[in-house]
Chains A and B, each alone.
Chain A
Amino acid sequence: MNIAVSPNLATPNGTTRPQVRIVIVGHVDHGKSTLVGRLLHETGSLPDGKLEMLKAVSARRGMPFEWSFLLDALQTERDQGITIDTTQIRFRTKSRDVVLIDAPGHAEFLRNMITGASQADGAVLIIDALEGVRDQTRRHGYLLHLLGIKQVAVVVNKMDRVDFSEARFRDISDEISAHLIDLGVTPSAVIPISARDGDGVAERTDRIGWYKGLTVVEALDALTPARALDELPLRLPVQAIYKFDDRRIVAGRIESGNLRTGDEIVIMPAGKIAKIKSVESWPLTPLSGPQGAGRSTGITLDRELFIERGDVIAHVGAAPRDTRRLRARIFWLHDAPLAVGASVLLRVGTRESRATIVAIEKAVDPGDLQSVAAKAIARNHVGEIDISLAQPIAADPYTDNPRTGRLVIEVNGRIAGGGLVLSVDAGQRAVPVDIVPVESALRPDERSARYRHNGAVLWLTGLPGSGKSTLALALERRLFSRGGSPILLDGDTLRAGLNNDLGFSAQDRSENIRRLAEVAAHLAKNGHIAIVAAVSPALEDRAAARRIADAAFREIYVSTPAEICEQRDPKGHYAKARAGALHGFTGIGNNYQAPGAVELTIDTSQRSVADATDAIERMLAETGILFDEHVDLAANI
């Protein structure tokens, strides 16, 4: 079956008419397909002979003619009497071209409703006058709100079945308006109609003579096309890097903002900076003018940087946040409920990352808006969740950017849910309540008695080549010899495993230090001496580590002068950095922040290793970590 094709671009006089995309939603059997069929008829959009053909089909099947036959073209639909998927139909009103998206109302097919509604600029929410507002009506209202659709016209259908009662209409109108306004959506019109007979669709008939508002066609005429995204900051999610010839083209669609040659850009989440060398195109290239939101474009950069699919290009100073933690409001479409601890695949723009559901803060059936037990989000329910990501991503809260502030969740390779990013700043969120730490079987003092020391975090900080690792190894040997339990946590060693997902941006360095500190503090709590050797250039990061390990923290500043560190260059890093082959290397860029007051400062250019180790041992004894006497455990009991 074929629905009328109304050209929406080139009208004979050569002008372009605005196009709006409308989704029709509502409870099953409230009359969506009938309204669409009627609208097509009223706007003269049906192909010649179509009406007659459908009447003949109906007669052959011994069924009364229904407008919904126009849409329910599929055999399966006719058999079951329901619309099972989204159908798009075009017609014209006086002032615009309308793309109608007929969304199925059956609860089973909510995913299709979302598939359809996500593409809409506005919505028509349909309610049966006899049945009134149903759960599915409210659910659809909620989902429209979640999908960010603000323009909603409500129609109260089947007015013929309530004798065109104005009172009945008012009741329903008040109820649904209150519900929608609660959600932050003000209906643009509430219209009494009979889709079957035509009242209120294109004409205000005598039977609804008391109604003075818009008809459905007028309400559609009043909806405005989608908003401009040009005004927002630039967001260009990278789809791919193409190297078909000598150009290295970064390709993607500009989701918001605009760009042009010469712009200084930042590539998130890594935070690398470059300039746009050219905007490439085909058949004409390069392009000189600005490129705005919506364009699928390709750019080259003025320097070779590692860029990959999923990165987001923004202007310097207006970049999205990078994060490993998101809070989101989602709708869930999958058969199996989404539970805390679930491992899923998250997609934000073109970035995909493994993710874990850390917490479910709210789970709601949008049908009755009652919060339900928040351990899981059931199919067709919505909820607020806290997500932890295996990889850093660049994202915006949806209130800042509707395009980069939305995500989908995949389970077994299939989209299972989606929603809006509420915040990307959830890194320090509370530990979920259902995590119960297990205490060690041993008391700290039992270990202390054996090792003759208390637990501690010994934090060696200083420039690369300052001698941290050498000291750490000597100290480890010394403490072990005296019966203690020292454990070395070398920054580079942990980067090879635990922290191998981290780069060298400021954020990644902070996270690296945080994890080192957490592991070290855990060891200290259990009576070991964790010896951490890490450049840890930022004062703030070391302060954070001290907070984590608390009273067990001892900081040693290995203050060897920079020239000597560079002369030593045990790993060859200084040489590489001088040659420009190692970016962001601490030591050359002067980005090491020397500590102020610390437990001990050691300049290894002035002292031997044995001498320095003695000094550390003394400091540990003086500050209550090491003790010489065997403790009488019995005395403590």
Chain B
Amino acid sequence: MHLLDNDNGRDGLRGAPRESADVRMPSMDHLDELEAQSIYIFREAFARLKKLALLWSLGKDSNVMIWLARKAFFGRVPFPALHVDTGKKFPEMYTFRDQYAGEWGLDLKVDYCPPIESIDPTLPPAARSAARKTEGLKLALAKYGFDGLIAGIRRDEEATRAKERVFSPRGTEGGWDVRDQPPEFWDQFNASPPPGAHLRIHPILHWTEADIWAYTKRENIPIIPLYLAKDGKRYRSLGDQDITNPVASTATTIDEILIELDGTKVPERAGRALDHETEDAFERLRVAGYL
């Protein structure tokens, strides 16, 4: 064990693609590694849980997730894709859903959230809207009896998500006990939820926003055009129409998005009203069962 010198000079060498002379073992790049681990997670979930569903929010992350599921299962998604619909998504998102559910051969289930009037009126507007989604999710869980819900959350999105497990147990009420998460290491996952409880499975937890875009580009995964800049603005994150705002941007291609992300210090969810209402709004929602 010794200290290497600062190897600024070797930076380019290390970063360069392996030469073709290395035919015996083509090395995996960063995206290959992310992909391989996500596939591993998908296959573990499918092997160890009885009734799975994949939550499809139609956004860039869940589209990558479906793509990875197809890789894991050789073109098929062997469990339903569940869209818990608020009815308030952008029209482009519904168009996207209906087109690709067919093209990708998904067993699409659309379930609707209960009316906003049934949700605690003392909550701030965006949190109330999110609570409505949590209710919709709980209703769908109860209706189908899923013991595993695959969700496309990422650690880098938000600090409470950073603390997630890949196989994350939820109580019978859908709640998340941040104080008592099981140990999880060496890709060995806890997959025995108690009766009535379920697991959230997070196959892209270890990805970043930039990874998602780079992979979307590499794999040529279709995207909703709202992510690309129009009139100096684009959406970095797509939620409901009433609680999602575009950010200033000139990025009209994925390459430009990647360059923009490389320079930005604005958080991804900056356009999400929810995250700004109270200091701990997001945490409280997640403890209650929100994604």
Contacts and interface: CB of A to CB of B under 8 A. Distances in A.
Contact of B15 (A15, A57, A115, A222): A15
Interface string A189-208: 10000000000000000000
Contacts of A111: 182-183
B181 interface: yes
A307 B149 CA distance: 28
A240 interface: yes
Decide if the interface of chain A is mainly helix, strand, loop or mixed: loop
Nearest to A289: B26
Interface in A1-41: 1-12, 15-19
B162 interface: yes
Interface residues of B, number: 86
Contact of A1 (B10, B40, B159): B159
B26 A57 contact: no
B161 to A, nearest CB: 10
Interface of B: 1-8, 10-12, 14-17, 23-33, 35-37, 39-40, 43-44, 46-47, 70-76, 78, 155-160, 162-163, 165, 178-179, 181-186, 188, 190-192, 194, 208-211, 213-214, 258-259, 261-262, 265-270, 275, 279-280, 283-284
B46 A240 contact: yes
Contacts of B258: 7, 10, 12
B74 A9 contact: no
A111 B46 CA distance: 26
15 contacts: A5-B267, A6-B210, A7-B208, A7-B261, A9-B211, A57-B279, A111-B183, A115-B184, A244-B74, A252-B43, A282-B70, A294-B32, A296-B36, A296-B43, A413-B194
A147 B140 CA distance: 40
A5 B261 contact: yes
Interface string A383-423: 00000000000000000000000101010011110100000
Interface stretch (A84-92, A317-325, A573-581): A84-92
B279 A292 contact: no
B278 to A, nearest CB: 10
Contacts of A151: 1
Contacts of A114: 183, 185
B211 A296 contact: no
A48 B5 CA distance: 32
B268 A2 contact: yes
Contact of B209 (A5, A252, A406): A5
Contact of A5 (B1, B181, B268): B268
B28 A94 contact: no
A16 B30 contact: yes
Given A5-B268, A406-B186, A221 B1 contact: no
B11 A17 contact: yes
Nearest to A188: B3
Interface stretch (A72-80, A495-503, A563-571): A72-80
Nearest to B70: A282
A95 B7 contact: yes
A88 to B, nearest CB: 5
A296 to B, nearest CB: 4
For this complex, into which size category does the number of interface residues on chain A fall?
35 or more
B183 A415 contact: yes
A188 B155 contact: no
Nearest to A4: B265
Interface of A: 1-12, 15-19, 46-48, 57, 71, 73-76, 84-90, 94-95, 111-112, 114-115, 118-119, 147, 150-151, 185-186, 188-189, 214, 218-219, 221-222, 224, 230, 239-240, 242, 244, 247, 249, 251-253, 258, 280-283, 285, 289-290, 292, 294-296, 298, 309, 333, 347, 350, 406, 408, 410, 413-416, 418
B211 to A, nearest CB: 6
B36 A294 contact: yes
Nearest to A72: B159
Which 10 A-B residue pairs are closest in the complex by CB-CB distance? Answer: A413-B192, A7-B210, A2-B267, A118-B185, A73-B159, A296-B39, A111-B183, A15-B15, A75-B280, A186-B1
Given A74-B283, A90-B156, A418-B188, A9 B210 contact: yes
Given A1-B158, A4-B265, 7 more contacts: A18-B15, A189-B3, A222-B4, A240-B47, A244-B76, A251-B43, A347-B188
A48 B267 CA distance: 9
B71 A282 contact: yes
Nearest to A403: B186
Nearest to B75: A282
Contact of B30 (A19, A74, A350): A19
B169 to A, nearest CB: 9
B5 to A, nearest CB: 8
Contacts of A88: 155-156, 162
A253 B40 contact: yes
A251 B44 CA distance: 11
Contacts of A7: 208-211, 214, 258, 261-262
Contacts of A186: 1
* Most chain B beta-carbon contacts within 10 A, residue among A147, A242, A296: A296
B75 A283 contact: yes
A359 B188 CA distance: 24
Contacts of A242: 73-74
B3 A76 contact: no
Nearest to A223: B4
A11 B14 CA distance: 14
Contact of A333 (B40, B155, B156, B183): B183
Given A5-B210, A188-B3, A112 B11 contact: no
